Amino acid sequence: MDSSTYSVLIIEDEYPARMLMMDYVMNCSELKLAGMAESGDKALNLLQEKKFDLVFMDINLPAVNGMDILRKEHSKSTFFIITTAYSEHAVDAFDLDATDYLLKPFSFERFRKSVDKALRFLQESKQTNSSKEEKKTHLKIQSDSAVFLLPLNDIHFISANNKSCVVHTSQKDYETSKLLKEIEEKLPSERFIRIHKGFLVNLDFVTSLRYDKGGSYTIQLKNEDETTLPVGRSFAQNLKEALKL
């Protein structure tokens, strides 16, 4: 096992079960609780806004069924562990690449075994992605009916603009129909980091992190405009760790 910490999302509509899962997660030093959702629609919103390494998800959820979430999200880089009282969805869940299937009620020992399985997959995935990221030098995007290969060294930050994004570079800004999360998944995670639900930045261009009296953070970039960007509260700790502050 390595010393990495992996972000976790808990999707559970029942309060006692949600609190139990939170307790289990907090008792695993390799895991960091990064979000909780009590309904399927809220879960989908969180999964669109933020990247999670591991998701513990119930199936019978308000608004959007857990299996529908798994069908929508299973091909991405997040690993899912199903937590449910019903066994009949197990085959379908594994067909959709669920990492494990926990039948309620389950002990911490069973939970820990599932976590260890997920950690093996996460570490293998991280090694593979690191190898790919080391070789990645450009971001390919489509903008204004043309395809551009943008050097990563020239990308200052990416901002969300409704259902599209703007990639801000040294030369110009490029608008693309891709979502911010989709672009985030294409970029080296050690170099590009989400600082807000609406902003992704290149750490190479960050010159300062400032704490305001109101309790909020901002960063300043070393570009021609000396751009200042807000830092979301839920992203501040990750940013400080990335900047080694």
DSSP output for 148-182: EEEEGGGEEEEEEETTEEEEEESS-EEEESS-HHH
**Per-residue confidence at 135, pLDDT binned at 50, 70, 90?**
low
- Structure tokens, 220: 């300043």
Same domain assignment for residues 62 and 171: no
Same domain assignment for residues 100 and 215: no
| 92 assigned to some structural domain | yes
Same domain assignment for residues 45 and 14: yes
Residue 70's CATH number? 3.40.50.2300
| 166 assigned to some structural domain | yes
**Per-residue confidence at 3, pLDDT binned at 50, 70, 90?**
low
Same domain assignment for residues 74 and 177: no
Same domain assignment for residues 84 and 148: no
**C-alpha to C-alpha distances, 104 to 55, 95, 119, nearest whole angstrom:** 16, 21, 21
Is a pLDDT exceeding 60 seen at residue 2?
no
| 1 assigned to some structural domain | no
Same domain assignment for residues 118 and 25: yes
**Domain membership of residue 223 as a residue range:** 138-242
Residue 208's CATH number? 2.40.50.1020
Same domain assignment for residues 125 and 195: no
Same domain assignment for residues 60 and 127: yes
Same domain assignment for residues 14 and 99: yes
CA dihedral of 31, 33, 38, 39, whole degrees rounded to 10: -70
Is a pLDDT exceeding 50 seen at residue 227?
yes
Q: What percent of the chain has pLDDT over 70?
A: 94
